[in-house]
């Protein structure tokens, strides 16, 4: 049995640790479609964000492609279990895992759960998601994160766009989840965390037929991400298609937020001054589809606004510029 130990803190930065373990049980290096059973051991998990939760679902779904349903060991922390239950994690995990461990009881849902884990399979799903989030999002962004009402309305537009990417490009379903946190030690502010994941063809597969030839031997998962993220390229010929991701980047940048996209073996990001993640990473453990993380902090003060806000992802060009 291939045992995947879940890190104590699970977010977009520690997700790759689990993927490396998944590959250990995959002799072909094909994103975990290995013979034999997988155990995802989350007993030591102490903190998890929406990206981490969706990552657990995604790993379970990929591991199941090997023929046997993987096992999931429930965290020992009652607080973590309660939070996972409030976010509807166990409802979806039961579809991909055999779940073992203690109680899965949820505490009070609270007002800070913006959107529990929700499947995205169709355009109707996207409309329902936006309808569900609108009222809560407006309340949280205006009352807790101090955004003017006009800007708060843009949150639902952005959420719609990022979910729409699954329908337009992935050729597979996915999930979305959104939550607020108080990052008192890391940032000194409240933040909204958005995660969207799918297990489809990824940016490399979506763009290859239209754009791989012009890149030649430089075509890779990283260059595909750069083509979409930096240059707004898409597989569609319609004018204006592919601009959704560009609009998301601009809006997140205006809010001094962070956006990162992982696909295949690469991750690209717009990184604000308050974060130290690299703007481009390559040669990561291979994983299907696309995994998107967005962090939006509470509204900047005038003093915050005077400081540099981000280190934009560098284009992947001839000669290996990074």
Same domain assignment for residues 151 and 251: yes
Residue 109 has pLDDT above 70, yes or no: no
CATH at 74? 3.30.750.24
Same domain assignment for residues 179 and 227: yes
Same domain assignment for residues 159 and 92: no
Same domain assignment for residues 226 and 279: yes
- Secondary structure of residue 205 in the 3-state scheme: helix
Residue 314 has pLDDT above 90, yes or no: no
Provide mean pLDDT across the span 291-304.
Answer: 82
Buried b (16+ CB within 10 A) or exposed e, 277-293: eebbbbebbbbbbbbbb
**What pLDDT was estimated at residue 29?**
52
Same domain assignment for residues 55 and 187: no
Instruction: Report the percent of the chain where pLDDT is more than 70.
Output: 84
Same domain assignment for residues 116 and 201: yes
228-239 pLDDT per residue, tens:
999 888 765 555
Residue 319 has pLDDT above 50, yes or no: no
173-222 pLDDT per residue, tens:
899 999 999 887 788 889 999 999 999 999 999 898 888 888 888 999 99
Domain stops at, among 103, 126, 160: 103
Provide mean pLDDT across the span 53-64.
Answer: 96
Give residue 76's domain range. 1-103
Provide mean pLDDT across the span 83-103.
Answer: 93
Same domain assignment for residues 163 and 257: yes
**What pLDDT was estimated at residue 37?**
87
What's the domain count of the chain?
A: 2
> Does residue 176 contact residue 198 with C-beta atoms inside 8 Å?
no
In angstroms, rounded to a whole number, what is the distance separating the alpha carbons of residues 120 and 115? 13
Residue 298 has pLDDT above 80, yes or no: yes
Domain stops at, among 49, 77, 103: 103
**What pLDDT was estimated at residue 302?**
55
Which range, 290-294, 298-302, 307-311, has the best average confidence (pLDDT)? Answer: 290-294
How much is the pTM?
0.89
Beta strand spans in the chain (E): 2-5, 9-10, 38-41, 47-48, 71-73, 98-100, 113-120, 174-183, 189-198, 258-264, 266-272, 280-281, 287-297, 310-311
């Amino acid at each position: 049995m291939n045992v995947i130990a879940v890190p104590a803190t699970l977010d977009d930065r520690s997700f790759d640790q689990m993927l490396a373990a998944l590959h250990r049980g995959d002799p072909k290096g094909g994103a975990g479609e290995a013979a034999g059973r997988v155990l995802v051991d989350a007993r030591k998990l102490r903190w998890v964000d929406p990206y981490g939760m969706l990552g657990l679902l995604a790993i379970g779904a990929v591991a199941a492609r090997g023929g046997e349903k993987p096992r999931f060991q429930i965290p020992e922390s009652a607080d973590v279990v309660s939070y996972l239950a409030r976010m509807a994690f166990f409802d979806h995990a039961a579809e991909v895992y055999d779940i073992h461990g203690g109680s899965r009881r949820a505490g009070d849902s609270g007002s800070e759960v913006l959107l529990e884990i929700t499947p995205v399979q169709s355009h109707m799903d996207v409309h329902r998601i936006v309808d569900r989030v609108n009222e809560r999002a407006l309340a949280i962004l205006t009352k807790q994160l101090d955004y003017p009402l006009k800007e708060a309305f843009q949150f639902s537009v952005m959420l719609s766009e990022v979910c729409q990417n699954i329908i337009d490009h992935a050729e597979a379903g996915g999930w979305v989840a959104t939550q607020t946190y108080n990052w008192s030690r890391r940032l000194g502010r409240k933040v909204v965390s958005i995660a969207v994941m799918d297990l489809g063809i990824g940016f490399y597969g979506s763009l290859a037929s239209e754009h791989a030839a012009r890149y030649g031997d430089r075509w890779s998962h990283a260059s595909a991400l750069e083509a979409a993220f930096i240059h707004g390229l898409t597989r569609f010929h319609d004018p204006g298609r592919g601009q959704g991701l560009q609009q998301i980047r601009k809006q997140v940048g205006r809010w001094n937020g962070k956006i990162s996209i992982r696909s295949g073996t690469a991750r690209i990001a717009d990184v604000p001054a308050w974060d130290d993640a690299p703007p481009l990473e390559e040669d990561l453990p291979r994983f299907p589809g696309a995994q998107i993380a967005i962090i939006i902090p509470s509204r900047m003060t005038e003093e915050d606004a005077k400081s540099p806000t981000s280190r934009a992802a560098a284009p992947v060009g001839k000669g290996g510029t990074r």
